[in-house]
Structure 1
Amino acid sequence: MNPSLSERPLELINHICSFLDNPKDLLSFSLTSRRICATAIPNHIECRHIRCDVRCVALWNRLADLPWIASQFVSLEIIGRFESVALTRPIIPNYHPLLGIAESESGITTGWQEELREECWSDCIHALAAAVRVMSGLRSFRCIDREESYSMNDAFAALKNCSRLDNIQIVVTPEFDDEDEPYICHSPLWDLSDLRIFSFSCYDMTGTMDLDYINKYTKNMLNMLIHRAPGLEDLQLDLGDSEVDVGELFQHGCWPMLKRLTLASDIVMPEDDTMDRFLNAHTTLEHISIPRLSEVKAVRWMENVPCLRGLSCADPRNLKSAISRHAFKFLEYLALDLSYSSATGNFCLRSLSQITSLRRLTLRGGQSPPGLLAEVARAVPQLERLHFNHYDGWESPTVAKIINDEDGAFSTRVTVLSHFRRLTHLSRFICLDQSPDGSVSNEAAVTELVVQRCATACPVLKYINLPTERRISHTRSWITIERNDDGSYAMWKPTDDSEKAALEVETWGGFFLGAQQSYMSRYLR
């Protein structure tokens, strides 16, 4: 009789565990028998992902000394010490029998002086690089640091030893001055190859960014992407606050498997038919977020991407002809800026009725919220998620008007909402008036009234974003609606933190935000 899996040699069990990258899968596998559990839990389940700041020197040294353990990690995320949100959720092997760091607090080494002494940061980077060199199984490397200026080139150079690496996501803030070029210009990062996922964002926190420096690292980066990343699937670029020409990206880039493309508003679009040729060669694209895409003179590009599911292109003026020719057969998400022309925006909204697959919509600018809401309801009543993003001020009913329904303004909005029978997410369709001291009088009562009326009008509404004027960008404004067994409104409660990530409007379109995922894209903020 053949022995069961749990009776096989430990080497075979360890080998099977090496194919399981997700800790949840490892946990499920470990629960199949006590012997597998005794092997997988202490030796594997904590050896897949690391998220911490660069100062974890003790961890880097232990990994460098234990290459057979270091090779089990598939994901490494380096967080800057000022990224307080990410640092509250570190992932570190504190309970591993050989890697646990008793003197660390929440996985982050304590006791460091806050002064930026060059020798301290240099030691950290060298220790990190030594650890990365032996992490041969690494597939994903993320570095998010928007406040530091130390060079990561030693760590980037060590990535060449990771033969399975195909996912690079970087957010950096290098120093720009007149004496020395920033380290990112000629970084070993641009020598990597065979990437499947690439995200790069560079921020100028001091206002000293030189366009010549930007062009240098941009040229090196594009050379790497064009010539050494033929299997690229996801690409996101944010190259700084200056006008950056990446014409070579569209002229020579050829990635047959490219599915998601996200470019920031600082990317200069080509003026000829280059974009048409590029998209004609990338018919696999499913999600495109390019705020300046509307600057392209030719409009044939929209018909070149038959599988498009998510689109953010700001100006809707070039969408009319494509919609009339039914170019968007599978489009599920659309983000538009109607502030360019109210007349054009209205026509575009009416024509959205021809996109029968549209389920999620984000609108910025345009006419007043009541009028805009009515236009949307007539055009796309099948929407499941709707978000309004007004930058030029809110037409917000006062608390008194909402309670007393003065002028019928609030009732009008609720009546329009009743046309959305499938709506589950509603964001910023109304903004509560706020007093000068930052509070909303009768906030609980007003919230109850608004949520109840909206939940009654939309029979399947589950989440509503009800901000006040001074916190319109905060995710704490999301409210969860509870219903009775018959579907009627029961009560509301603040949305749990565990659900808020899925509610972020910036994720509705399925766009690749890369390392900026936690901070959201600039255009949709």
Structure 2
Amino acid sequence: MALSLQPPELLDDIASLLVRPSDLLSLALTSKTLYAIVVPQHLEFREIRCDARRSALWVALAQHPGLARRLRSLEMYREPDLLRSNLVPRCLMSGDNDVPPVDCSLDVRSKTCSSQCTERICAAISPMSALMRFCFHHSNFAYLHPIETIFEAVLEHCLQLRELEITFYDGLPTFESASRPLWNLSYLTHVSITVNRSPMIRTKQRQYLTEIMRMLSRCPDLEHLRLASEGRGPLVNLSPMLVAMSWPQLKRLVIEGDLTLNKDPAAVTFLARHTQLETLSLNEPLELPPLPHLRWLSTPEFRLRMCGLIPERFPLLEYAMMTDAYESPHREIEPVVRLLLAFPALCGATVALGTITALRHLSQDVPHLQRLALGCSPWNLDRARARETCLPNDECIAILASFPHLTHLDSSAVIGSNSDQETDAILDPFLAALAAAPQLRYVAVDMLLFDGVRPVHRWYALERDEEGKYAGRTEVRNLDRVRFHDWEDIFRQVGIS
């Protein structure tokens, strides 16, 4: 008997066993019957990403626990956010699945997440027994009420949770007071914690770091770890906390902000136990042990043998971001080129170039680059402070287009305009000229929005016709498409966030 002729309940159970969306899509395309079951009831309920103030959405999920049980990922942040696109099940808004249409729109009148809304979120989370990923981007302006009850609901009901991502803007409440339920989680594989501390509490002890380590000690299968504290306060040495830790599956380690390993021998010992690392980001120079699987490295130091950056120790290194080698636009390009050529597998870098000569030197000596981020450029020497349109001239565009393998380019170009029509008139010819690079797929520019407060970093996917010529653009709202190895944004430290 054909699979599509099986009872709907059996087909629903089969679909619920599939984890990867690609497998679900393949199943949905086998017949109209399976499509009607898989797409609205499974694919659309794999992931929700939206503002916590969408109260009607949480009410609908609480009232239909069968749909909530299908969710694998829940991400809450404050809208609008130019770096994220919303994901809300369309079938809820259209009234499919025998669910009355729900108005899931954002209550723009509410600047806070009220206690009533928090209760609705907790009620919606309670049936999410299959949830594997939880992301919470907190803002002082959007979440003024106690939020630990949301974390308690996740701890109590989401027993399959494996990925945790928290961004917290510390103030009132403090992260210490709000995060207590999180530290009872266990068996996580992906952890990312970012805490931005307000001036009033920057000097206070960060007790949450100790709690994080206690939690991580119960996570033997940890694969991804990112810790960041952006308080610009006293440095905190993590080495003593890591000295006894061992995660055989750890592939990605990112330490940022005012968290440090303090050039501590204990940190080197820790890294030597984790030779399986593929991504490593440090905010200080450190004598690195051999890491034969390392593919992405960010470090302030570039003096190769003085800092243990011996190419033979990193045979697979594909992307290098060594900030003191690239941050000065007036630094000679020859040492940078020698560095790029020292690693045989290297195909991407973040570079600051102050002259057209340096740009030409890079294109001639390292033509195999696939990903290039210009921290600054001859047309934009002070990228973070640019307040007017800055575009490369024809000669510079010709040099950029001469990279035969370039797929991703952060151009450092700035576009300022007073209307969408004016933006189109500037942006399209610029992208069309860059499209002479045969493999180029994604280009980033810095947009000066109409309020002119600060540039906004935007990525565009190039569309090509049958002959490979420029045919238009699409803004990339899902930045996973331009990330490196599905984890770290390779262009994150170019000065524009």
**Structure showing the higher helix proportion among its residues:** 1
Which protein is bigger by CA-based radius of gyration? 1
2:93 is aligned with 1:94: yes
1:336 aligns with 2:327: no
CA gap 1:481/1:163 in 2 versus in 1, 3 angstroms = closer
Amino acid across the alignment from 1:55 = R
Does 73-82 or 304-313 show the bigger shift?
Answer: 73-82
Give me the whole-angstrom Cα distance separating, in 2, the residues matched to 1:335 and 1:35: 50
Partner-residue secondary structure (3-state), 2:268: helix
The TM-score, its normalising length taken from structure 1, stands at: 0.76
User: In 2, distance between residues paired with 1:69 and 1:433?
Assistant: 44
Out of 96, 106, 124, the residue aligned to residue 131 of structure 1 is 124
Deviations 1:290-316 (CA, angstroms, capped at 9, x unpaired): 2x231x3xx2x2x42111111111332
Q: Which residues in structure 2 correspond to 1:464-503 (within 5 Å)?
A: 464-465=443-444, 473-475=455-457, 478=460, 480=462, 482=464, 485=467, 490=469, 492=470, 495-498=473-476, 501=479
Would the aligned equivalents of 2:229 and 2:257 in 1 still touch at CA under 8 Å?
A: no
**Aligned with residue 421 of structure 1, among 386, 404, 413:** 404
Structure 2 SS opposite 1:257:
coil
Answer yes or no: is the 8 Å Cα contact 2:137–2:167 preserved in 1: yes
Q: Secondary structure at the match of 2:193?
A: strand
Match of 1:218?
209
Structure-2 change in CA distance of 1:278 and 1:101 (3 Å):
farther
2:230 maps to which residue?
240
Deviations 1:162-200 (A, max 9, x none): 221101111122424xxx755546520111000011111
Q: Deviations over 1:372-427 (max 9, x none)?
A: 3244345422112222102999359x999987xxxxxx64x567558633234443
User: Which residue of structure 2 aligns with residue 73 of structure 1?
Assistant: 71
- Deviation track 1:181-240 (CA, whole Å, cap 9, x = no partner) reads 555465201110000111111223x53233325x11121112111x21111111112223
1:257 to 249, 262, 266: 249
Match of 1:273 in 2: 265
Aligned to 1:164: 160
Aligned to 2:148: 153
Question: Which string of whole-angstrom CA distances, capped at 9 and with x for unpartnered residues, describes residues 314-355 of structure 1?
Answer: 332356664555222111111122367877874343132121
The answer to whether 1:108 aligns with 2:86 is no
Cα 1:121–1:499 shift into 2, 3 Å: closer
Q: Look up the equivalent residue of 1:422 and give its one-letter code.
A: H
TM-score norm. by structure 2 comes to 0.80
Letter in 2 for 1:238: A
State the partner residue of 2:345.
357
CA distance in 1, matches of 2:447, 2:61: 48
Q: Which has the higher contact order (CA 8 A, sep 6+)?
A: 1
Return the letter of the residue paired with 1:217.
Y
**Offset of 1:357 from its aligned partner?**
1.0
Q: Distance in 1 between matches of 2:296 and 2:44?
A: 36
Shift of 1:496: 0.8
Deviation readout 1:441-492 (Å, 9 max, x if unpaired): 999699858964x666x5544555566899995455858485774x7xx5x4
- Structure 1: runs of 5+ lacking an equivalent: 404-409
**1:140 corresponds to which residue?**
133
Q: Give the number of equivalent residue pairs.
A: 481
* Local SS of the residue matching 2:71: coil
CA distance in 1, matches of 2:244, 2:399: 48
In structure 2, do the counterparts of structure 1 residues 362 and 500 end up closer, same or farther at CA, with 3 Å as the change threshold? farther
The letter of the residue matching 1:275 is A
Residue 54 (structure 1) shift: 2.4
Q: CA deviation at 1:21?
A: 3.9
What residue is the counterpart of 2:356 in the other structure?
Answer: 370
In structure 1, how many angstroms separate the alpha carbons of the residues matched to 2:427 and 2:134?
Answer: 46
Shift of 1:84: 6.8
> Which deviations, in whole Å up to 9, do the C-alpha atoms of 1:247-282 show, x marking residues without a partner?
344312211101111222321223321221111111
> Match for residue 385 of structure 2?
none
C-alpha distance in 2, partners of 1:416/1:149?
51
- Aligned residues of 2:459 and 2:476 also touching (Cα < 8 A): no
Gaps of 5+ in 2: 383-387
1:359 partner amino acid = C
- Over aligned residues, Cα RMSD in angstroms? 4.3
CA gap 1:369/1:503 in 2 versus in 1, 3 angstroms: farther
1:122-142: CA deviation from partner (whole Å, max 9, x where unpaired): 122122222222211111111
Q: Is the 8 A contact 2:73 2:131 kept in 1?
A: yes
> What residue identity is the alignment partner of 2:260?
V
Deviates more, 1:380-389 or 1:458-467: 458-467
After superposition, the Cα gap between the structure-2 partners of 1:66 and 1:495, relative to the gap in structure 1 and judged at 3 Å, is closer
State the percentage of identical aligned residues. 24
Local SS of the residue matching 1:44: helix
Match of 1:11 in 2: 9
AA in 2 matched with 1:73: L
CA contact (8 A) 1:144 1:170 kept: yes
Cα distance in 2 for partners of 1:250, 1:219 equals 10
8 Å Cα contact 1:307/1:330 also seen in 2? yes
Displacement, 1:157?
Answer: 1.1
Indicate the residue corresponding to 2:171 in structure 1. 175
**Bigger strand share:** 2
Partner residue, 1:311: 297
**C-alpha separation between the residues in 2 aligned to 1:39 and 1:425?**
38
Change (3 A) 1:351 1:377: same
d(CA) in 2 for partners of 1:236, 1:402: 35
| Helix, strand or coil at the partner of 2:144 | coil
